[in-house]
Amino acid sequence: MKIVQIQGLYKNFGEKVALTNLNLEVEEGEIYGLLGPNGAGKSTTLHIICGLLRQDRGNVRVFGKETCKQMKAIKAHLGLVPQELGLFEELTAYENISFFVSLYGIKGKKLEEKTLKALEFVGLEGKRRDKVKSFSGGMKRRLNIACAIAHEPRLIIMDEPTVGVDPQSRKHILEAIKFLNKEGATIIYTTHYMEEAEALCDRIAIMDKGLCIAEGSQENLKSIINDKNSFCIQVAYIEKVEEAILKNIKGVESIQFKEDSIHIVSKKEISCLDPILSYLAQRECVIMGVNTQVTNLENVFLELTGRKLRD
């Protein structure tokens, strides 16, 4: 079953275009990654799915119901882990979770059970009576997740839930997400950490400038750039190298300069390493090493969204 269906979605903020004809579908039971550079439109998309924002045009269905007409019914089975922490610092961990659970009309013994289960789930059962203001960043992130999942939603939307956490908390959070998914929850996950998306997601959409520019399984996405070679040449005296000349070598598709290395993407069928090395030798650069790079999600992401720094 398609748990989220987005068709022809548009959203502007004044002059600013946030989404422009976005189309996405999320199947029940999957972990669906939403990746994209800053400002790509990920949070706007998630906020529209949750009914926090209204689209200008287009159709969004969650659990087969239209968000514009049946948001109340949708919200009962939806959990949102927001990018910004949404916690009450003066309340304890227990009080924070039980407040959010109570918003779903859950009371009494059930409220207590669900709150304790969520505390245990994020490894904070020993801190239940402590005020949030005494928590570390990682503990707050975990509590933020507990507040969103304690009512046991069918669809969990996570907007960069691991920002600023240490490796231990990150590991705990990623394992918890896998567990929730095994238990039956569908998860939509945004992150800037490619290795997280690689470890978690069944399918991924890459967004840029309000559009979905690629979508599919990790294998599908990698196959987009499998007709290319990617390699890195470490060079001393890199200042002697002229980018325009390298770019003109047959087969070269893109070039990126770093402090002491050049990253090159080329067509697979044309071998351009020899002419590049000859050119570097001609310029009396010292070649310190050449590394071929394996195709991973980060290469795909950078290839599709560009390697230039964004404002």
Torsion of CA 255, 256, 261, 263, to 10 degrees: -50
Stretch that binds ligand ATP, among 41-49, 97-105, 125-133, 197-205 (CB under 6 A): 41-49
Least distance from ligand ATP to the Cβ atom of residue 255, Å: 26
Interface residue with ligand ATP among 9, 31, 42, 123 (CB under 6 A) is 42
> What tokens were used for 71?
């948001």
- Span interacting with ligand ATP, options 39-47, 98-106, 113-121, 268-276, rule CB under 6 A: 39-47
Other CB atoms within 10 Å distance of the CB of residue 281: 11
Indicate which single residue of 4, 6, 18, 74 sits in contact with ligand ATP (rule: CB under 6 A).
18
Q: Binding of ligand ATP at residue 237 (CB under 6 A)?
A: no
- Looking at the chain, the number of H-run helices and the number of E-run strands are 11, 14
| Residue 36 near ligand ATP by CB under 6 A | yes
Binding string, residues 177-196; x marks residues near ligand ATP by CB under 6 A: --------------------
Are 227 and 267 in contact by the 8 Å Cβ rule? The answer is yes
Q: Which is nearer to ligand ATP, 44 or 266 (CB)?
A: 44
Beta-sheet strands, E only, within the chain? 2-13, 16-27, 31-35, 57-62, 65-66, 78-81, 155-159, 186-190, 203-208, 211-217, 228-236, 252-257, 261-267, 286-292
In this structure, are residues 35 and 193 in contact, taking their beta carbons and an 8 Å threshold?
no
Q: Which of 1, 15, 16, 289: binder of ligand ATP (CB under 6 A)?
A: 16
Q: Least Å distance between CB 117 and ligand ATP?
A: 30
Tokens representing 143?
Answer: 């509590």
55/98 with CB nearer ligand ATP? 55
Which spans of this chain sit near ligand ATP (rule: CB under 6 A)? Answer: 13, 16, 18, 36, 38-44
